Amino acid sequence: MKYEFNENEAKEVIKEYHSVHQALALRIYTSRLIGRNPDMVLHGGGNTSVKLKLKNIFGDEEDILFVKGSGADLAFIGPEGFAGLKLNFLQRLRTLENLTDEEMENLLRTHKTDANAPDPSVEALLHAFLPHKYIDHTHADSILILTHQKNGQEFVREVLGSKAAVVPYLKSGFPLAKGVIGCYESNPDAEAVVVLNHGIFTFGDDAETAYMRMSGYVCRADAYIRSKAGTRNQGVNLREADLKSKTARFVQTARGACAYPDKEGRLRRFCAEIRRERDITDISLSKQASEICRSGVLTPDHAIRTKNRYVFIEHIPDDDESLKKSVTAAVETYKAEYGRYAQAHIKDKTVGHPDPFPRVFLVSGLGLVTLGFTRKDAKIAADIAEHTLRAKYISDTIGAYEPISESHVSDMEFWPLQQKKLGKAPVPALQGQIALVTGAGGAIGFGIADRLLHAGAAAVLTDIDETGLQKVRSILAERYGDTQVETIVFDVSDYNAVSDAFTEIGQRLGGIDILVPNAGLAHVSKIEYLEPAKFMQVVSVNLMGTFNVIKASVPVFRRQGTGGNIVVISTKNVFDPGAAFGAYSASKAAAHQISKIAALELAELGVRVNLINPDAVFGDESVSSKLWDMIGPDRMKSRGLDPAGLKEYYRQRNLLKATVHAGHVGNAVVFFAGDLTPTTGATLPVDGGNSAAFPR
């Protein structure tokens, strides 16, 4: 760990938060220094506090503890991330012999100074009981490596010195708070307290001192580990193309093996994250790989994200059927073991049994694969698993890694206060599903992607227009978060490019559940003047592009084995063509027909294929319609209309006199993707009503 406290930076933070007490502004600054170091704190882990004297509404001074809110991210924390608590009352709780979790939670909530502040960290009492003004707590990797050695207590004392007191593992909350203050009072010269298999607390009367001590002890542990750990490299390399193909095949299969129906019968799917750093691949090839996967988390806090054990996959068969059998067998074994573990350890009846599926796979020669209901969940699991694998691998080079007991892990994993970090918000309809939208750089593609993201899906956007594609991505990432939106540039008329893109999607997200062939090309010309080459160009995009993406998706759907939805964006011209629009109408009609054939053939895989016929969908100021950009000027000229007049003309033409937006097309896609009806092979108009284009 690098010491990063900078006086000028600290002053800038004080200036930024001039409306709060200067001591709290400094608390924010050093909290961020700690939080932005992933070797110390990962995803809401760790906590910090400061004690202040503030005047209440009567003008009386009160001692207030500001402690990090539960689940807040130290790397980006601001004043709103801290909960103010009435310190004197909390300190009196130390005199109690026992305090239930429910009592503790209620007392922490009812003694906040601001009802709108976040719920305080479950370690708030520990911060209250210790007398110091500033307290820092992390789960630093190097400290955990030391505490997981046999005779860990002696190991920590030897490496960190006499001013680092050590306590055995205790459950967070009241037991840990009592244990740490008792330890400190027996060691009043201590600068830190290390909790075995949990982490380290440092403290001081000013923010820099507490941070300096944290940095110093972590650096001391780092230096010791580096001096003892050797360098081990397996030296095995796979061709990049083989590596990508194997990884995509495995992840698609694993996603399918872990999908399951929830209580309402809705299929829950997972997004995936793949990590292939060289040292992680080396660990996957090591003799210790299997044992590392079985030997548990570094700290029980991680179990809600990764579960206690990982799945080790020793071999990837070359054929998909054998791969599916081996992955399914590994998952079933894991489920059975996890079921026994949960049955033995869940004591609190308010905690429902979590799903028994693994979150982390270590695959020999390929690296790390993690699963999560969202991409964010999968990335969090991957970050934690990466650090865990490295730490346990290094542990074996300096001694022997000794795991924490399952009872301690389960106490934390199934603790209601810990489970609350995962949130209980309603599950979006398409959460865990991965959608691919072609032609996403235009208005309709944008509207489709927007609605899919709104419904909880992760979206992969593709187009050959990279500029338009990045514009759409930036808008959607702003709305739904950067992790939910991916882009790939490829030509749908090139099957090899399409196939490679599907492999790349497997690498990035895990697979595909929703396919929306939307890319299209129009050309205005009467048959008499229509150049054959131009006709074939339109056919290559509209017909062959649709064929290519459907064909390339079939092996993915087959490996996943969880069904899926293909929603083809067709056109009203299939039923109601127009003069001088032959290339577009004919190619779209052919694509419509091949899509219906796909509905017949893919039903056995549980894949539904439906079609949407939009008409007169104009873009807006943010994303224009490429079709109307091309044909609009000619239509306006022939009818003597301006852009607003043309839109009004088409609105008046439909039966409902409705303005049709790209979002309406997106809503139709979400309807089909949500499996709300057992429908395949259907055509749904989104046109405001056009009797000539009614599906027949």
Other beta carbons within 10 angstroms of residue 179's beta carbon come to 18
Cα torsion 567, 569, 570, 571 to 10°: value is 140
CA distance 147 to 154: 9
Tell me the CA distances in angstroms from 479 to 48, 101, 445, 502, one per residue in order: 31, 38, 16, 25
Q: By the 8 A CB rule, do 565 and 610 touch?
A: yes
Q: Are strands 271-275 and 267-268 parallel, antiparallel or unpaired?
A: unpaired
* Residue among 564, 560, 562 at smallest CA distance from 327: 560
Please say whether the dihedral angle defined by the alpha carbons of residues 668, 672, 674 and 676, taken in this order, is positive or negative.
Answer: positive
Other beta carbons within 10 angstroms of residue 147's beta carbon come to 27
Of the candidates 184, 334, 584, 650, the residue annotated as catalytic is: 584
* Residue among 586, 689, 59, 176 at smallest CA distance from 415: 176
Q: What are phi and psi of 319, to 5 degrees?
A: -105, 145
Tell me the CA distances in angstroms from 256 to 314, 431, 484, 601, 640, one per residue in order: 19, 15, 20, 20, 56
Strand order in the sheet with 683-686: 485-488, 458-462, 434-437, 514-516, 564-569, 607-614, 683-686
- With residue 18 as reference, give the H or E element that holds it: none
The single-letter code of the amino acid at 538 is: V
Q: Are strands 683-686 and 311-313 parallel, antiparallel or unpaired?
A: unpaired
DSSP 327: H
* Residue among 317, 340, 346 at smallest CA distance from 329: 317
Residues 6+ apart with CB under 8 A from 528: none
Tokens encoding 365: 């020669």
Q: Where are the alpha helices (DSSP H) in 415-531?
A: 416-419, 443-454, 466-480, 495-508
The single-letter code of the amino acid at 632 is: G
CA distance 63 to 252: 55
Q: Where are the alpha helices (DSSP H) in 115-267?
A: 124-129, 141-147, 152-160, 174-186, 207-228, 240-258
Other beta carbons within 10 angstroms of residue 503's beta carbon come to 18
Tokens encoding 205: 């009367």
Residue 341 annotated as catalytic: no
CA distance 371 to 384: 12
CA distance 394 to 399: 9
Other beta carbons within 10 angstroms of residue 474's beta carbon come to 12
Other beta carbons within 10 angstroms of residue 76's beta carbon come to 11
Q: What is the 3-state secondary structure (H, E, C) of 268-303?
A: ECCEEEEECCHHHHHHHHCCCHHHHHHCCCCCHHHH
The single-letter code of the amino acid at 445 is: G
Tokens encoding 562: 């969880």
Q: Are strands 683-686 and 514-516 parallel, antiparallel or unpaired?
A: unpaired
Distance, first Cα to last Cα, the chain: 69
Beta bridge partners of 193: 165, 201
Which residues are catalytically annotated? 584
